Structure 1
Amino acid sequence: MGLGIDIIIFVSAILVGIFIYWRESNGNGAYRFINKMMNSKELQMSADNPKGFVYKQSFIPRLLFVVISLLVIGLILQFLTPIKVFTNFYGLSGLATFATGTIIGTYLANFVIKTTKVVEEKSDSIGDLLGDAVEKGKDLIEDLKPATTEEIEEVKEDIQPEPEPEVEKKSARDRLKDKGLM
């Protein structure tokens, strides 16, 4: 088992993480059920709280959920199938790679979902910004078009500097005399 299988496991885990996060963003029934079973009525989460096992969780609870879930799946694989997860290096390496990929996948899904919401909220202003950019681009193209000879003459007249008034300049000898050096 080499690096190739680790890459396949890692990419698969990212996809699993994205799927888990997406499913929990649409509904948190399992989290709400466990919350209802474990907590008293006063401590239970409110009905409008969207938090799940990985959705809207900080890093540590998300990491704990992923690792504990993978350990349970690893134990099931270890004892019920011929796949030995915990008895060799490759199994542990695959488990660690899968956990890392799943965490990265959840954060990647979080980024995509937040970006989609921002784009949906700002879609009208993005259209306005795009229209302004098009108008500015048209003005820029007009500025870059070759000018006619009349326009060139007008620009030359505007650019010609006014002559500076000449100030009487003293010679070097007079300046030295003024300083008392001569």
Structure 2
Amino acid sequence: MGSAAKVILYQLFRSPRAPSPSPFAVKLDTFLRMAKIEYTNDFSVTQSSKGKILWMRYDGEPVEDSQFCVEYLNRKLNINLNSHMTEEQRAIAHAFRKMAEVNLYWCMGMARMENMEFMTSMPGNRFNKLFIWYGIRVYLNQMKAHGIRPHSHEESLHIMEGDLRSLSVYLGKECKASCL
């Protein structure tokens, strides 16, 4: 791209331990860097028309959802980071991506809930506590809608470990095959 960035990435703040607390922001940020697409971050927590905090503008056009952003930029800029993959490998990658974005994401959320519940008991002003309490309730309702909330903490960890083990085995197999 030229010297002026055409992509503005709207996302949450940077985290001290990770580029973002959102795995979807990390995904999109990683794609932009791998594709060598210049972009600027906007951490103003400006929501998209769909109520999403992670979204982007490309030449002024809004694109919402991390995967739609990747697909849009692939089409618009004629990028294909998967061109070296077979159709079967792309299908497997798609399945693992969906597993991580849906099942693994909500299981990780379940694991994080213990820390979030603790935050409501911390000292602080009433507005911050109310905001955290409300955010936790919304997130718990979303977890219930996705089907992970009825499970115990131990059960959700079991599901998450199975997903991570499957991904690890597959990536280890792929690495062995491609490293030879």
**Common topology (TM > 0.5):** no
Higher strand share: 2
1 or 2, which has the higher helix percentage?
1
**Higher alpha-carbon Rg:** 1
Asked which structure has the greater RCO (Cα within 8 Å, sep 6+), the reply is: 1
Q: TM (normalized to structure 1)? A: 0.28
